[in-house]
Structure 1
Amino acid sequence: MTVSVLVVDDSGFFRKRLTEILNASDNIKVVGVATNGREGVEMAAKLRPDVITMDYEMPVMDGITAVREIMKHRPTPVLMFSSLTYEGARVTLDALEAGAVDFLPKNFEEIARDSSQLQKILRERILDVARSSPGARLPPVAPAPVSPASVQRPTVAREPIAPGRQQPARPGESESPKTPARRTAARSFSVVAIGTSTGGPIALQRVLTGLPAGFPAPLVLVQHMPASFTPAFADRLNKLCQIEVRQAEEGDLLRPGLALLAPGGKQMMIENRGGQGRIRILPGDERLNYRPCADVTFGSLARSFPGKTLGVILTGMGADGKEGCRMMKDTGSLIWAQDEKTSVIYGMPMAVTKAGLTDEILALGDIGTRLVEAVV
């Protein structure tokens, strides 16, 4: 089936190039263009597209307000275009909170010079975002194979809500789907590791705001995100959460109640030095699709803290985290995965679950509570 797209942007050049790129695909068709957020809201109601691409800075109505209006009246998957700056990151996180599914950097130079790689990424992202709709007509994303060898041998040289409150469910999201009867017995973990991608910023916020300041284990977080975005994301989480959250740096020590976010564009590994976890930040290995990569971080935990790690895989496309979870599971560590119903993209959790690695499958709204119950 063809995915219908509404393009919302005040730049005539961007609207024209985006329309040309998307219409060149056999299974994507641009059905309308809007020059500002208000037009976008009106055309979304009239045309009922499968996906909307949304700019932020526009006259009459900005992109975030438009996303909120669209989600209020007719929820539709929205792909935001953002600048790769700290301010762009802040705006993008606001858009994701308002209900946008994913984002892409807005790079006029690459659009202008007809970059084939950019076009490929854009078309694939449109199709992936379309799959996030409850009524999506596309087949599920097939988990992409990950080479265990590349995971085990990375190049070695590292609307805001009040703290402690849960964010309301997104449209169509169930708070408590049926959970498998098997439940993790309370035990001590050396570290809790969480990996996620598309939908992850809001999912991480939901989970981490449910943890008390005295949470008894360290946490490490891997979110697929550009380098210019991770500092703003860590700052936002830190302001919203009772635990401390910050971007990880070389040599950081793991400690209870501290969550360290892997920096974008690099790889984060954890070493065990006399029982103390220490962060290593490595250059982004070009052999790996993701920088940061959950497989790399989880694989290092399998070696450093065998049988003493709780791995959690949240929403995201692809299969990053599966091989790392397999390595941790082989040492006796435990693995949880977000369920399909509350995942924006059921790729990463599906890959782990289909591989038979999960000890618990949980709705997003239940994960924070279960962490408090299970980690002592």
Structure 2
Amino acid sequence: MKQIKVMVVDDSAVVRQVLSGLLGREPDMQVTYAVADPILASERMRLQWPDVVVLDIEMPRMDGITFLRKIMAERPTPVVICSSLTEKNTRTSMDALAAGAVAVVCKPRMDLRQSLHDGCDELVAAVRSAAQARLQAPAPVIGSARPAPLQSVPGVPAAKLSADAILPPMSEGAAPMRGSGRVVALGTSTGGTQALERVLTELTPAAPGIVIVQHMPEQFTAAFAERLNSLCQITVREARNNDPVLPGQALIAPGGRHMLLRRGPTQYFVEVVDGPLVNRHRPSVDVLFRSVAKCAGASALGIIMTGMGDDGAVGLLEMRQSGARTLAQDEQSCVVYGMPREAVKRGAAERSVALDAISREILQYGSGERRSNEGL
């Protein structure tokens, strides 16, 4: 078994000790170095370059964001940010994602040693996911000084429940339905934050209403939505219960809660609900896609994008069976070709398209709706 070589960079001796122990006990991982700051990390990396770096943000001599940018400029390497969940650090973590981090996990502020043990599965999953990421050298992107392919946090391994835990499947043999107005549903995970930025910044206010699940921890989705909103022509924000789905607007499911599409008398709206992890994620792409299949059917476009695992593959197939249009991001443009691969294997995607083509597909889909309305 090829081991993942991991470097831990954190100024806390307790964190370094605990993380080294937790990661080192995994048969497919080896902690090569655990150091107190980026200066020491740079020296060790000259001796042996790691496969994944687990990096704190606030450290002496050099902060984590500056070090991350140096890594991405010299030799793009998967970086998992392990940061305390504070308002300041949450926003800084968004900067880290924009600079090239592939994942963020939360470092608790109280009872650190026990909490790190409790969150072990999340960190291990994040490191494994990051190790599969295919990164490229940074290139200029709107609103980012030095971005790179990005991120999201995988769910915590647990009993793997299906979308049945949140809402029942469509009745067998049910005829495809058509909702009132078109809607676009996007699902993504590892690599998704940068991919979504690429897609949403190219949309105009003429775009149809969009609902999005990006696997991300609680508290982070609001900051992520705010950042996108500052870059985009369309409105982007974290979804709230009963928010209407409007043209020229994208709603991002809040971390830690599921989001479902519902249909009202005149328009769609979203329902934000609690519930168990589905496909080890909350929010789950399968939950969103199933709800879209049930209430929008042939009036929907479903798109599954970069990410590890299979969340969304079943839901996209249900969307296609309900009459919706369905697309998968192609392998060449994915950071991790996991979720799209599973969707393609199941016959859920009509076509695979490059990341750069997704915004055009969305706008063409929306213009088709306008042409249809003009012809009535």
TM, length-normalised to structure 2: 0.83
Pairing of 1:1-376 with structure 2 (within 5 A): 1-107=2-108, 109=110, 112-113=113-114, 117-133=118-134, 147=162, 149-150=164-165, 152-153=167-168, 190-215=182-207, 217-286=208-277, 289-376=280-367
Alpha-carbon distance change, 272 to 48 in structure 1, aligned in 2, over 3 angstroms: same
2:166 touches 2:275 (CA, 8 Å); kept in 1?
Answer: no
SS in 2 for 1:280: strand
RMSD value, Cα: 2.4
* Alpha-carbon distance in structure 1 between the residues aligned to 2:182 and 2:32: 52
Alpha-carbon distance change, 147 to 291 in structure 1, aligned in 2, over 3 angstroms: closer
Alpha-carbon distance change, 115 to 247 in structure 1, aligned in 2, over 3 angstroms: closer
* Alpha-carbon distance in structure 2 between the residues aligned to 1:280 and 1:231: 17
1:44 touches 1:70 (CA, 8 Å); kept in 2?
Answer: no
Gaps of 5+ in 2: 137-153, 170-179, 368-376
* Alpha-carbon distance in structure 2 between the residues aligned to 1:114 and 1:56: 19
* Alpha-carbon distance in structure 1 between the residues aligned to 2:75 and 2:279: 38
**Corresponding residue number in structure 2 for 1:166:** none
Deviations 1:161-196 (A, max 9, x none): xxxxxxxxxxxxxxxxxxxxxxxxxxx961011111
CA drift of 1:296 comes to 1.2
CA drift of 1:24 comes to 1.6
Alpha-carbon distance change, 106 to 230 in structure 1, aligned in 2, over 3 angstroms: same
* Alpha-carbon distance in structure 2 between the residues aligned to 1:214 and 1:114: 46
Deviations 1:142-178 (A, max 9, x none): xx97635336439xxxxxxxxxxxxxxxxxxxxxxxx
1:195 touches 1:314 (CA, 8 Å); kept in 2?
Answer: yes
User: After alignment, is 37-46 or 63-72 more displaced?
Assistant: 37-46
2:328 touches 2:349 (CA, 8 Å); kept in 1?
Answer: yes
Gaps of 5+ in 1: 136-140, 155-187
2:298 touches 2:324 (CA, 8 Å); kept in 1?
Answer: yes
**Corresponding residue number in structure 2 for 1:163:** none
Relative contact order (alpha carbons < 8 A, sep ≥ 6): 1 or 2 greater? 1
CA drift of 1:286 comes to 4.9
CA drift of 1:281 comes to 1.6
1:7 touches 1:32 (CA, 8 Å); kept in 2?
Answer: yes
Q: Residue 125 of structure 2 aligns to which amino acid in structure 1? A: E
